[in-house]
Structure 1
Amino acid sequence: MALRNTTSAAAALLCAAAMTAGAAAAGPADGASPAAQGAGPGEPDLSRLSLEELAMVEVTSVSRRPEALADAAAAIFVISGEDIRRSGATSLPEALRLAPNLNVQRVNAVDYAISARGFNGYEPSNKLLVLVDGRSLYSTLSSGVFWDARDVMLEDVERIEVISGPGGALYGSNAMNGVINIITRSARDTPGTLVSVGAGNEDATFAVRHGGRLGEAGAWRAYVSGFTRDDSYRLTGGDATDAAAGLRGGARADWTVGENRLTLQGDVFDHEVAVNEGFTGEETRVSGRNVVGRWTRPLAGGELQVQGYYDRFERTESGGVEDSDTWDVSVQQAFGRDRHRLVLGAGYRTVQSRFVAAPGGAFLDPAERTLSLTHVFAQDQIALTEALTLTLGMKFEDNSFTGQEFLPNVRLGWERPGGDLVWGAVSRASRTPNRIERDLTLPGFLVGGDFQSESLTAWEIGWRARPRARMSVSVSAFYNVYDALRTVSIDPVTVFPLTLTNFGAGETWGVEAWGSYDVTDRWRVSAGLSTLNKDLGAEPGMDISALAAAGDDPEYQVLLTSQTQITDRLDLDVRLRAVDALTPSGTDGYVEADVRLGWRFTDALELALSGQNLIGDRRVETGDPARQRAFGRSVFVSLRAGF
């Protein structure tokens, strides 16, 4: 679908939202309680905050210690729990579409490819680190995230911090192009009972959560949630036989004992998805469980945090059985001294990975591996003057495949008179090999090789400001230089077998910008833009894949959002996204619109009607020819009740 053929429809939707907002501009809301949002009693409502207050919301992902969003010297976008509620999203990947510095490509009914600053696609999207309450979702099998298995109860999300740009100095290798840090609410913030149900022509969901006190010092909650998702469409029409269903449950407890804060949480899930590259509809079972423990207390004029987690993942299908067991323990100490704000940390992770392939196909040799990762890091924020802050960070890692990695970072932030922040950064990051790149074998055709880490040197500059009382703006530009990118090489004598090698290199550059404007006390409009230019290639004669690892990316995408409070009890949200054609596949760009109308009948009861993908009859989001599926319009009705 050509973008110019749908622009008029997109403009009409925004105009309709504007007229509705103008009619509703009588004055501010009367301050309905947080329970009125349908999220449950006692939960925060960020939609009531001014842009100035939102700028002071604490984030932790940039420096691994709390700081105001306005002071964070990085390209960081925050998705609040209230943003998620008002989006009508029914899954975590759909909620991530709210971040203008992410490109989200839906692959089929449950699979997604998500990236920052390029390299997107189902297989190439392997340069983004995703965390849920400090637990990494990184896969040692493919370096990506299996989004069909990774989800959270969206009603429990406090915020999602999305950093585009390297995070290696704090988060290590594999935080190469960005970090998604998902932070859920404390059990203290979710007392009582929440029931959420929804159904539409494409999805059905439910979630039930209950929480309470644990004596005088603690609180707890437990939940169960589930979903069913209908088939996507073949490009030629008809169902793609990839319907899915799943169940998830978990619990969390938080205590405060003297100066000690303790958290224990865990989840289990069991999903039935489909392997549908050949439209067979063959069922695949994806399941897992995890438990996280965290202890925090003041120490030495700062704060000490110790965390450990265990994560079990299993996937069973006719082509093989994959499972992994991950144990991770980490410790960090944050403290201030004179002009210095220091964060020191260390950690150890071990992963027992197993992949048993069906006879006659490709397999991993060896089938089982135990991988380890050891790291230490340090970061110092130095107040050179009252307005100028220098950040020096570095991380040393030792991993099973490539040994030692050194990941430094230098940032400089200048707070100009009036509160504007101008910042710049130079960073080195890397992505270490995964098991497929080292161990994948198909006799006579492909053998495991000596694949090494991909590397990146990134230059960034940014500006964050509030030019007017009702306006906030963030703009950043980046220039990335990549080396040792993945290629596929032939044997110089016999042609076969092929090997995975590191003969790719090149540059990318672009701009990311977003901002919000409060037209009235009841109407907020937001916009986001990201651009990407790529000049990537391989050494002559050393790659037969046309550098497939470079991914398939749009040169630009635009997001427009209108959030309107029509009355004290009625909300209207309109979201538009325009995505350029993918390069190099040439998959058509598109413009789509999502609309949500929510009624809060009481402070604890909300009914909402959502429409998604309302402009185009069908669209394709990925250029992968083996996985291209089409998606159409959907309507979803949801009900949330808090007790």
Structure 2
Amino acid sequence: MRHLRRGAAAAILLVLPGVARAEESTAVVATAGADGVARLSQQLVAARFDDQDLSRLSLEELSMVEVTSVSRRPEALADAAAAIFVISADDIRRSGASSLPEVLRLAPNLNVQRVNAVDYAISARGFNGYETSNKLLVLVDGRSIYSTLSSGVFWDARDVMLQDVERIEVISGPGGALYGSNAMNGVINIITRGAAETRGTLVSVGAGDDDAAWALRHGGDLGGAGAWRAYLMGHVRGESRALTGQEANDDAEGMRAGARADWAVGENRLTLQGDMFDNQVAVNEDLLGTETHVRGGNLLGRWTRPLAGGELQVQAYFDRHEREEPGTLEESDTWDLAVQHATDFGRHRLVLGAGHRVVDSRFDAAPGGAFLDPAQRTLTLTNIFVQDQIALREGLTLTLGAKFEDNSFSGQEFLPNVRLAWHRPGGDLLWGAVSRASRTPNRIERDLTLPGFLVGADFRSETVTAYELGYRANPVPRMSFSVNAFYNVYDDLRTVSITPATFFPLHLSNNGEATTWGVEAWGSYDVSPAWRVSAGLSTLTKDYDATLTPDDISGLVSIGDDPDHQLLLRSQHDLTEAVELDVRLRAVDDLAAVDGYVEADARLGWRLTDRLELSLTGRNLLEDRRVETGDPVRARAFGRSVFAALQARF
């Protein structure tokens, strides 16, 4: 099975070369009260993201948009003491992207590598690669979507209706004190709109020489106390090319459906939402296009009400995931319950929470190859956390937080965080942080077995201690920027060790150490009310020992394959009241065995009426064939493509 091979490659596919070698990563906001900012943010967001309102927020207004990922409670973006970049609904619409991973290219603090027609490697602050991108937590409306099989995200099974996304909050840097497992190098929080914002009918169809997509959504009132919506969407992904130029036989198609309802009963606010999907993808390492079926669904409920001067939130969800290939079957059922209470008293803004998760995981492997022993496991994860934002004096805030976790594989984890933020008189924000985060073992690292070659291991959690410094400013109404620097120290990284005297069997171990450092910077400037230009730059330096030793014959392949720098440039120009032109340029440095590249995308959008929009998007316009990943087995090439879309609202 392809996704067993994904996690196992560090022990088998990526270990084999190691064996051979062994033998031979504003002022308004500053002065506004928290409640006032929250109310203003809600008004701005509601106005901005209404289906009928396509006007653009000013940069000052964007700085007051409400975010929730940094402190797990609403705050203005200008107050968020973290390296956070927000992808708005308007950014998504104007990108012309037809899939979630392509939207994530808009975040300058992420590195996105497309592997083949449906697979991507996405990371923050290093460790990228199809086998190694396992240190990033991704949430959809509070539901975690990372895999306990390999700790990564299987992007071929994870999608959303992009027209329903309110914003995507991308945090680079550890989030362990609030989010726990897997929030080691960053958090992506995908937040969809409430049902009240999606009343009416939306129809979207698009097709091009590579991909096609369609979506249908309808919503309405739920009595006099709420609203509902339901959607149905589908996609076709055209096949990529092998490096030799031949077709890779990795085309895919799928459908997804879901619904959401939000309503109020007195002071109680309730949400119930769910999705189901059925995708057909292909195993394409051998270019034969062996069909794989990926199915699943989820159901989430949330209850929120005022309590003791604050807000109580209880959330529960169930997530089902199934992947079937000839001879193999992976099944995973997840139940999760989380409780959180946010309240203010005196100088303190307190958030307390607890959660419990149960994952039933089963993997039936084809005879004669690698397998998991035991085939079925029940994993548990229990946590409690607390965070206190303390106003030391006007403009100076100290944040103390910690999460305590207990998991089935590595036992107890303590994940603390300390942040200090200073709002300078001009409204800009200077902040610093010290954090500890971890990545808990996955099933492959504990249970993977290949008789005579590899045995299951007592693999422990990988850890990082991170030091961060950031500065965010909106110096003039037409300009905003953010600059963040980091220094990370990693311990207990995944390595591959031999058995003394006999060499084989190998086992996964925690003998790796590394340090990384770099800078992330982004900003925007309004040339005119109709023209905005933006830029983003990230750099990364990694220091680690790749010497082959009996304690690690892999040369620390788990460190990943990352560019030293990448540059993103974007222009959003309203040529007329009805015509938009968006141009994006990205320059990505070399990987270990892949040349760097410069690529461009462009979108021309035409609002025929207030409810009808036509767009034409050109992708990968500069090169006829380009490779983004250094994966020696899966790397595929992509070239120029065109995608036309029509969207109507009724």
- Asked whether 1:632 is paired with 2:639, we answer yes
Match among 208, 211, 218 for residue 200 of structure 1: 208
SS of aligned partner of 1:169: helix
* Residue equivalent to 1:549: 558
Report deviation, 1:40: 7.5
* Residue equivalent to 2:619: 612
Distance between the aligned counterparts of 1:400 and 1:121, measured in 2? Answer: 27
Match among 257, 261, 267 for residue 265 of structure 2: 257
Report deviation, 1:538: 5.8
Map 1:319-358 to 2 at 5 A: 319-358=327-366
Match among 274, 289, 299 for residue 281 of structure 1: 289
Q: Is the 8 A contact 1:40 1:192 kept in 2?
A: no
Distance between the aligned counterparts of 1:67 and 1:463, measured in 2? Answer: 17
- Asked whether 1:435 is paired with 2:432, we answer no
SS of aligned partner of 2:454: coil
Distance between the aligned counterparts of 2:201 and 2:115, measured in 1? Answer: 35
* AA aligned opposite 1:78: V
SS of aligned partner of 2:155: coil
Q: Is the 8 A contact 2:122 2:133 kept in 1?
A: yes
Distance between the aligned counterparts of 1:115 and 1:92, measured in 2? Answer: 14
* Residue equivalent to 1:588: 595
Q: Deviations along 1:399-441, whole A, 9 cap, x unmatched?
A: 0001100000000000001101000000000000000000000
Report deviation, 1:41: 3.9
Q: Is the 8 A contact 1:508 1:532 kept in 2?
A: yes
SS of aligned partner of 2:157: coil
Q: Is the 8 A contact 1:220 1:253 kept in 2?
A: yes
* AA aligned opposite 1:417: P
Deviates more, 1:116-125 or 1:540-549: 540-549
Q: Deviations along 1:50-106, whole A, 9 cap, x unmatched?
A: 100000000000000000000000000000011000000000000000000000000
Distance 1:433 1:526, change over 3 A: same
Identity %: 75
* AA aligned opposite 1:577: R
* Residue equivalent to 2:8: none
* AA aligned opposite 1:566: L
* Residue equivalent to 2:473: 465
SS of aligned partner of 1:438: helix
Report deviation, 1:138: 1.3
Q: Is the 8 A contact 2:624 2:639 kept in 1?
A: yes
* Residue equivalent to 1:453: 461
- Asked whether 1:213 is paired with 2:210, we answer no
Distance between the aligned counterparts of 2:525 and 2:318, measured in 1? Answer: 43
Map 1:224-623 to 2 at 5 A: 224-537=232-545, 540-582=549-591, 585-623=592-630
Q: Is the 8 A contact 1:474 1:513 kept in 2?
A: yes
SS of aligned partner of 1:155: helix
Deviates more, 1:368-377 or 1:544-553: 544-553
* Residue equivalent to 1:6: none
Report deviation, 1:591: 0.5
Report deviation, 1:546: 1.5
TM-score (norm 1): 0.93
Distance 1:59 1:359, change over 3 A: same
Report deviation, 1:469: 1.9
Between the two proteins, the alignment pairs up a number of residues equal to 605
Q: Is the 8 A contact 1:128 1:174 kept in 2?
A: yes
Q: Is the 8 A contact 2:50 2:197 kept in 1?
A: no
* AA aligned opposite 1:503: N
Deviates more, 1:319-328 or 1:349-358: 319-328
Q: Is the 8 A contact 1:36 1:605 kept in 2?
A: no
Distance between the aligned counterparts of 2:228 and 2:284, measured in 1? Answer: 40
Distance between the aligned counterparts of 2:610 and 2:454, measured in 1? Answer: 61
Higher normalized contact order (CA 8 Å, seq sep 6+, divided by chain length): 1
Report deviation, 1:379: 0.0
SS of aligned partner of 1:53: helix
* AA aligned opposite 1:98: L
* Residue equivalent to 2:165: 157
Distance between the aligned counterparts of 2:426 and 2:568, measured in 1? Answer: 28
SS of aligned partner of 1:48: coil
* Residue equivalent to 2:19: none
Distance between the aligned counterparts of 2:525 and 2:281, measured in 1? Answer: 41
Q: Is the 8 A contact 1:209 1:223 kept in 2?
A: yes
Distance between the aligned counterparts of 1:592 and 1:599, measured in 2? Answer: 24
Q: Is the 8 A contact 1:40 1:642 kept in 2?
A: no
Distance between the aligned counterparts of 1:104 and 1:630, measured in 2? Answer: 15
Q: Is the 8 A contact 1:505 1:538 kept in 2?
A: no
Consecutive unaligned residues of structure 2, counting only runs of 5 or more, are 1-44
Distance between the aligned counterparts of 2:50 and 2:568, measured in 1? Answer: 29
SS of aligned partner of 1:466: strand
SS of aligned partner of 1:148: helix
Distance between the aligned counterparts of 1:330 and 1:40, measured in 2? Answer: 30
Distance between the aligned counterparts of 1:569 and 1:168, measured in 2? Answer: 45
Q: Is the 8 A contact 1:96 1:102 kept in 2?
A: yes
- Asked whether 1:124 is paired with 2:113, we answer no
Report deviation, 1:338: 0.3
SS of aligned partner of 1:525: strand
Report deviation, 1:586: 2.5
Q: Is the 8 A contact 1:596 1:609 kept in 2?
A: yes
Q: Is the 8 A contact 2:516 2:541 kept in 1?
A: yes
SS of aligned partner of 2:224: coil
* AA aligned opposite 1:550: I
SS of aligned partner of 1:85: helix
* AA aligned opposite 1:215: G
Distance 1:319 1:457, change over 3 A: farther
* AA aligned opposite 1:241: N
Report deviation, 1:537: 2.5
Q: Is the 8 A contact 1:262 1:294 kept in 2?
A: yes
SS of aligned partner of 1:384: strand
Q: Deviations along 1:355-398, whole A, 9 cap, x unmatched?
A: 00001010000000000000000000000011100000000000
Report deviation, 1:160: 0.2
- Asked whether 1:146 is paired with 2:154, we answer yes
Distance 1:202 1:477, change over 3 A: same
Report deviation, 1:544: 1.1
SS of aligned partner of 2:102: helix
